[in-house]
Amino acid sequence: MSELKPQDEKFRTKEDICTHLGDEYAKFMGAIVPPIFQNSLFVKPTPKNGIPDTGFVYTRVSNPTIDIAERKIAALEGAEAAACFSSGMGAISAAIMHFIKKDCHVIAPHTIYGPTRTFLSEYLADKFGVTCTFVHGSDPEDFRKAIRPETTLIYLESPSSLVLYMQDLKAIADIAKEHGIGTVIDNSYATPLHQNPISYGIDLVCHTASKYMGGHSDIVAGVVAGSAEMIEQICKNERELYGACMDPHQAWLLIRGLRSLPVRLRAHGESGLKVAKWLETHPCVDRVFYPGLDSYPQKELADRYLSGTNGLISFVYKGTAAQAREFVYSLKLFQFGVSWGGFESLIVMPTVGMTDEEAAPFDVPANLIRIHIGLENVDSLIADLDQAFEASKKITE
């Protein structure tokens, strides 16, 4: 756990935080890149050994390389402190556990990330008697109506990573505060560059750093940001006891990813918008979900909360499930795989082959396809999508 130090105040813009916060040339022998402290323990000072007391003891608790990643992310989120974890789910489950009591009640939108949904509605239900109410969530009153005396947490994900639905963070944070309920958000889609939920009153902000923050599909990592007090408790309890701490090498790769996050996101956003606009005009496409489009159903929320968009786009394929599958399998530049946020373009088809009724509990339309627009040439990507649509039309089943 690390808090912002006074010397960090010179980093006024997010680009400067991403590139340089944590660089300490005098401390690290002039190295332009801070080294990896790839060690498990730090020997302790004694009256005789002359070793200075740096406060570092053991890497599950804290480590100078992880500390740099945490200071960068806390500064980007406008948070007092941040704590890194070995995965996004490590961070999310720790933030949730902070607010969980035996037999408590949690409210969340239907569209949250699958494993988070399973954690809330199955794991915590079975082990601790936690109940969870899933709501649509586009109206803040959905949350107010679901509140019970035993509600301790409202969990959000905005935009959600499958259909990119949003929630009104300020209105929901106000409702939660009125009732003394904690709030946690998965802010992975927006990244700390495009949305800072703490400024609207949300308590804890979680990210998977395996996606845009790492950016190169070479790490699995996560982070929670919030008040110094809450982060300190999470580190002492959930992180030290469950032990899902980050590894120093993972932290070093995350710091490297953060340096180029602003330029990468700009590229993903520009290409994403171009592809989303092109998809909207294509006869094989029924509807497109992309917060940067004028047709985005929650445009007002997108304008209010997001200072940019990225490369995630969802759309409903217009045709049969067999045609939708043929489209996906015919792509050459896009790889068929989960995850997103790396340099590469990807595609998944979460509800292809489902009926509307089967997809309804997740608030996702049937025949939904999600693509991630990577850093390849955008016109090559459009040409690839186009040839795959043509191939899909030939399927007559």
Ligand X SMILES: *Cc1c(COP(=O)(O)O)cnc(C)c1O
> What residues make contact with ligand X under the rule CB under 6 A?
87-89, 113, 161, 186, 188, 208, 210-211, 220, 222
Q: How far is the CB of 355 from ligand X (least distance, A)?
A: 25
Q: Look up tokens 């740096």; give the residue.
A: 54
In one-letter notation, the amino acid at residue 391 is A
Residue of this chain nearest to ligand X (CB atom): 88
CA atoms within 13 Å, Cβ hemisphere of 203: 22
Choice between 185 and 285, CB closer to ligand X: 185
Smallest distance, ligand X to C-beta of residue 202, A:
16
CB of 140 to ligand X, least distance (A): 21
CA angle 332–111–325, rounded 5-degree value: 25
What single-letter amino acid sits at 165? Y
Closest CA to 93 of 242, 251, 247, 246: 242
In this complex, which beta carbon is closest to ligand X, that of residue 42 or of residue 85? 85
Is-contact 274 280, C-beta < 8 A? no
CB closer to ligand X, 168 vs 186: 186
Q: Report, in Å, the least distance between residue 132 CB and ligand X.
A: 17
Nearer to ligand X, 112 or 284 (CB): 112
CB of 85 to ligand X, least distance (A): 8
Alpha-carbon distances of 354 from 161, 321, 324, 371, rounded to whole Å: 19, 8, 12, 18
Residue 71 or residue 207: which is nearer to ligand X going by CB?
207
Closest approach, Cβ 214 to ligand X, in A, equals 9
Q: Map tokens 């109410």 to a residue.
A: 133
Judged by beta carbon, residue 144 or residue 372, the one nearer ligand X is 372
Q: How far apart are CA 225 and CA 205, in angstroms?
A: 5
Q: What is the CA radius of gyration of the chain?
A: 22
